[in-house]
Structure 1
């Protein structure tokens, strides 16, 4: 993941605010007015204390009441605008992240850390709320209120205005920059460790049966404790730095306020001027202190922002084609195809011709590139060398929608969503009628099982299909394939989890479907490949 500077991260995040500029301006104006009301409450009180002739006591009491009332109303309105902006933008960012993941699918996601992605989609994006709701408008508010207070201080003498300017710059600019630089790496490491812990927990939950079977639970628990300790260590560092930040900021505010009093004494100012000016100085630090504290609280946000932006900027291994060619999928040719992954040669100088109505079987040892070949035909990856042609058209020039429409792919692992069986089947064809769904399930020999369930096709499937056996999940995957009704059917060990009876019924259905289709099997079972027109053997990255 390439490193980005804090300014680069902030500038990218700020650009997203432009469509909501009017709400941001409204939040800033109400924030400025609200903070000025808060500042004037102690200032007016000090004026009453020293009997300043500017306002009568009666007028000051009325102004105090108005300022107190407006402070509450304006603060509420400012926060409402800020959080409206924040949650609108978080929704937009989530949409962009899912769009980026869609472009990266499926090639990049096969090597992506799933737990880290979950952490990014949930907690990392949620952390950006701090930036949008508690950073942009407070910065603008601090600048405007500081400017107003400097103007007021200059009424007592230009030197007081200059001193206030220097004090605001120190607390509101110098301190946050220093703190941000010191804590940035802690925030990035914290988000990284949070992602690692999520990955470890997700992995442990999925492999719980295996851990119990092989009595590996103690080691997994030890690993969980280790990951938790690493995250706790980073959090401790973060909290420690935040405490130091607050102490440093408060010390600066006290010393700078004391410094203003000393200047008044040195210049022989009147007691009234010194009290009112000093109270103004102390009370005006509110918005500026908020900026100083951002230096530490934003450290996690910077880390989260970098992770989100890096994902959005990631270049897909396969670009989606929208205005390309269309093909009928009557033939496919692999011509001198090479493919390497992470410098490991998977396929080398492969040549293969596939014609319509053929049923082709592929055999080979594990790691010989059988599944990779199917993924290249699906264009999950692009070839490193050579060409894959569909009806004489390079597969890279075909519309992605045309490719997905005409190709069906069934793997050993069928992913089911936490939804009804019917909706899980509709993944293959959104507008399918219930009759079409039932026919597809009959071909996959799963219809009777579904009908015997309490709610039939409306039966809810548990997360990842955990309520179903491996064979039942695989048959639902095959039913999806029948429902999709594509011209090129790619089957990677489609009957690996089935008994011989179910395998025979399903294979019969597949062979009956072969008219105007091309079917490619990857299997180790001789029974699966017995009725293929030809069987291809893959050895040493080649077709033999």
Structure 2
């Protein structure tokens, strides 16, 4: 909660305006019936009225108008703060994910992460717009109302104080405690449901192929029932809290009236004071009721906040390097490099030299550590022992943006965004001109395919590139890497989804680019290794 409150500091001016408008608005709402009762009592009891009848009616109308205007201003400020902070939090979250990727995000529940990025952040609007200023307003109104009723008799002020504390503090705290971890359970089950649905959509072909649709629907129904059950339980606690608040309001309003009557019988106050204090009590609970309703909703909000903060405070496995000199590429090497995923040793004392302008091949069976070496070259992870270097400098000392400029990685599974082919290519070089796009696509043997599409480069590839074949996605990935024009090209099984003709075209293209590009080529195909100057064999994390 304190981390969330700290975010409000830059917008504290708007928060002060919101609180002042809220207090002024509730004063108008509360003292409108008080003034009316006071005027009526003065007429009935033949006392000096606080205002003439005409002025009183005008004042009442003005207070009603101001109440609406001030309420609007309060909400405008609250929501301005909330939406500004939500935009800031989204920016911070994506910056955090960028730092965490890919090592820390490997194996993360993507559905839960998507739920955090969407619904959890949206739920924080309740905290920023409907929690902070209402609490401040309620505290200030408590002081105002206790002072007002206490001006007639301290006993009336004491009843007002106890009433406001019970409705605005005791009830919501009890509801919060009774709710337990209900809010967290709801958020976690909602995230789990998102993951299950996302898995089903991505694996829809397999679901249909193996006829497990009915089974997954039953599981979906069961998860939905469990989520609905948790939501009902949380809602029931909130309803109980609302009922308790209503009962407390009725009881304390009656108590204020009875105390006033007793004081009147004792000659401490006059009849108008009794009526005015009772009217003040009845009209004073607006801010406290706003807090009473937070008991259950705050559970879900704080649960969402914890999930968001967990992402913001997650420490990356690999820290970015932001300072240092810019170096040029002069060859790469892995020297006595070892690496483990947890307790599983994947690379063991691997040494590979990649001279500038050469094509170095690494062959080996699946699971031998070839892809891991590629990712270590990109510094997605850091080696446990030994070193990875470029131009005889350890890559963990090279500025991260400089390192990214010098390298381009093409993996076996190419990711394409749900955008046009042009947009997917321009990720590698946002300001590339058309001739550069054409040259990269020709080098990747995908130009003719693109030109054969009705919309050419503007054709949409669909989510995850689902409208394209594996070979087409792979060639677009290669074109993207060629467009990036990095001096070191790391290719992990780049031709696994290609036929012999397209494989030959791409290998010839690599061969022609020896002067401007160094290539680390990973493949289990002997035909792919034919273009390499030197081939290392990898088995069980060792190189020979």
Q: Into which bin does the TM-score normalised by the smaller protein fall?
A: over 0.9
Which residue number in structure 2 is paired with residue 140 of structure 1? 136
| CA apart distance, 1:201 | 0.8
Which residue number in structure 1 is paired with residue 328 of structure 2? 328
> Once the two structures are superposed, what CA deviation does each residue of 1:506-535 show, in whole Å capped at 9, x if it has no partner?
111122112243211221211111222222
Which residue number in structure 2 is paired with residue 5 of structure 1? none
Of the three residues 172, 178, 190, the one matched with 1:176 is 172
> Once the two structures are superposed, what CA deviation does each residue of 1:178-197 show, in whole Å capped at 9, x if it has no partner?
32233251111111111111
1:34 aligns with 2:30: no
| CA apart distance, 1:153 | 0.5
| CA apart distance, 1:238 | 1.4
> Once the two structures are superposed, what CA deviation does each residue of 1:475-520 show, in whole Å capped at 9, x if it has no partner?
1111011111111111111111111111111111122112243211
Which residue number in structure 2 is paired with residue 349 of structure 1? 349
Of the three residues 52, 57, 61, the one matched with 1:61 is 57
Tell me whether 206-215 or 16-25 shows the greater mean CA deviation.
16-25
Which residue number in structure 2 is paired with residue 18 of structure 1? 9
Tell me whether 53-62 or 417-426 shows the greater mean CA deviation.
53-62
Which residue number in structure 2 is paired with residue 85 of structure 1? 81
Task: Please list every run of 5 or more consecutive structure 2 residues that lacks an aligned counterpart in the other structure.
Answer: 44-48
CA distance in 2, matches of 1:243, 1:522: 62
1:153-164 to 2 correspondences below 5 Å: 153-164=149-160
1:112-511 to 2 correspondences below 5 Å: 112-267=108-263, 268=265, 269-511=269-511
Which residue number in structure 2 is paired with residue 98 of structure 1? 94
> Contact 1:184–1:300 (CA<8 Å) still a contact in 2?
no
CA distance in 1, matches of 2:337, 2:99: 24
Tell me whether 60-69 or 371-380 shows the greater mean CA deviation.
60-69
> Contact 2:507–2:531 (CA<8 Å) still a contact in 1?
no
CA distance in 2, matches of 1:426, 1:104: 24
Tell me whether 77-86 or 462-471 shows the greater mean CA deviation.
462-471
Tell me whether 511-520 or 400-409 shows the greater mean CA deviation.
511-520
SS in 2 for 1:428: coil
CA distance in 2, matches of 1:346, 1:159: 77
| CA apart distance, 1:286 | 0.8
| CA apart distance, 1:175 | 2.5
CA distance in 2, matches of 1:466, 1:126: 30
> Once the two structures are superposed, what CA deviation does each residue of 1:260-286 show, in whole Å capped at 9, x if it has no partner?
222223332543322211110121011
| CA apart distance, 1:298 | 1.2
CA RMSD of aligned residues (A): 1.6
CA distance in 2, matches of 1:389, 1:461: 37
CA distance in 1, matches of 2:57, 2:516: 90
> Once the two structures are superposed, what CA deviation does each residue of 1:383-405 show, in whole Å capped at 9, x if it has no partner?
12222222221111001111111
> Contact 2:159–2:255 (CA<8 Å) still a contact in 1?
no
CA distance in 2, matches of 1:108, 1:533: 35
> Contact 1:370–1:538 (CA<8 Å) still a contact in 2?
yes
Which residue number in structure 1 is paired with residue 46 of structure 2? none
SS in 2 for 1:109: coil
| CA apart distance, 1:33 | 0.9
| CA apart distance, 1:326 | 3.3
SS in 1 for 2:501: helix
> Once the two structures are superposed, what CA deviation does each residue of 1:156-175 show, in whole Å capped at 9, x if it has no partner?
11122122222222222232
SS in 2 for 1:467: coil
> Once the two structures are superposed, what CA deviation does each residue of 1:276-316 show, in whole Å capped at 9, x if it has no partner?
11110121011011112112111111011011111111111
> Once the two structures are superposed, what CA deviation does each residue of 1:42-92 show, in whole Å capped at 9, x if it has no partner?
212322442363334333322211111111111111111111111111111
Tell me whether 327-336 or 392-401 shows the greater mean CA deviation.
327-336
Tell me whether 254-263 or 83-92 shows the greater mean CA deviation.
254-263
> Contact 1:153–1:160 (CA<8 Å) still a contact in 2?
yes
SS in 1 for 2:538: strand
Tell me whether 337-346 or 32-41 shows the greater mean CA deviation.
337-346
> Contact 2:175–2:241 (CA<8 Å) still a contact in 1?
yes
Of the three residues 35, 58, 61, the one matched with 1:44 is 35
CA distance in 2, matches of 1:492, 1:230: 43
1:502-541 to 2 correspondences below 5 Å: 502-541=502-541
Tell me whether 301-310 or 48-57 shows the greater mean CA deviation.
48-57
> Contact 2:354–2:520 (CA<8 Å) still a contact in 1?
no
> Contact 1:428–1:483 (CA<8 Å) still a contact in 2?
yes
> Contact 2:187–2:303 (CA<8 Å) still a contact in 1?
yes
CA distance in 1, matches of 2:139, 2:87: 29
CA distance in 1, matches of 2:492, 2:307: 34
| CA apart distance, 1:417 | 1.8
CA distance in 2, matches of 1:394, 1:181: 53
CA distance in 2, matches of 1:404, 1:223: 43
| CA apart distance, 1:206 | 0.5
Which residue number in structure 2 is paired with residue 4 of structure 1? none
CA distance in 1, matches of 2:210, 2:32: 69
